[in-house]
Amino acid sequence: MKNIFKNKLQFKVLFCLSFIIFLSCDTDETQTVATLNNLVWADEFDTNGTPDSGKWNLLTGDGTAQGIPGWGNNELQTYTDRSDNVTVQNGVLIITAKEEDFQGKSYTSARITTKGKLDQQYGRFEARIKLPTGKGIFPAFWLLGDDNNGSLVWPQIGEIDIMEFLGDEPTTVFGTIHGPNYSGANSITKKYEIQNDRFDTGFHVFGVEWTPNQINWYVDGDLYQSITPADVSEETDGTGEWVFNRPFHIILNVAVGGNLPGSPNAETDFPQRMLVDYVRVYN
């Protein structure tokens, strides 16, 4: 049952606390980010069944059809649009990773995107999510840049990982960007470690606020990373290009195996589910 942000008083209190946190940061850019409170798009997942086709695309396959087998990470799953792998029930989006033989793969899961339905340049993107667990389980909430009708390829299009999670590290999430000369294992990233809690036992709010010259990462309203063009230049000895100046779309998925996080082991239980209470976008 949804029990957060539905009560208007709770929402106002949380917003005010978040605003205070934002203002405590000492850069003008961060203070500007605090004004991004105009809700422009949302999915509250209030209708049971298949995710809203007016908002989401359901990708299928193992990436081969897109020219990136293993989805660029040598992953072990194939994505499907079956209700076994992706459905909305009781106000929650459920993405389920299963161990099963399907289309030549040993695992199935789901990946949904807003490409062509919501492609937004700048704003605050956030989701309230309960994460799955286990070695080899790799859920993510992320943004991918516009490919200019196919003329650009990754990492030139840019990638903003709002939240990535390794199922065998239940107290830690990552916030990351990928671009030219800082992609894959050389991406610019930072961990957030939760105190006295785990990300697989309850819902948490993951978000970024993205402006022309800064991206900020938050977990439950806590700012834990800020990256600017100057940071990219410093991290790459001047070779990195800031490519976060085009529309991006949202992706939610649960991968299984791959270069990161490695394969499941005998202790990994299936099925594993990522639960998403809502996704909201502000400007």
Instruction: List active site positions.
Output: 159, 164
Which tokens belong to 224?
């834990």
Alpha helices in 151-256 (DSSP H): 229-235
Beta-carbon neighbour count of residue 134 at 10 Å?
20
Alpha helices in 7-118 (DSSP H): 8-24, 28-33
Cα→Cα distances 45→5, 42, 184, 261, Å: 14, 9, 32, 29
The answer to whether residues 119 and 146 touch, using CB atoms and an 8 Å cutoff, is yes
Q: Report d(CA 82, CA 106) in Å as an integer.
A: 16
**Phi first, then psi: what are they for 231, rounded to 5°?**
-65, -40
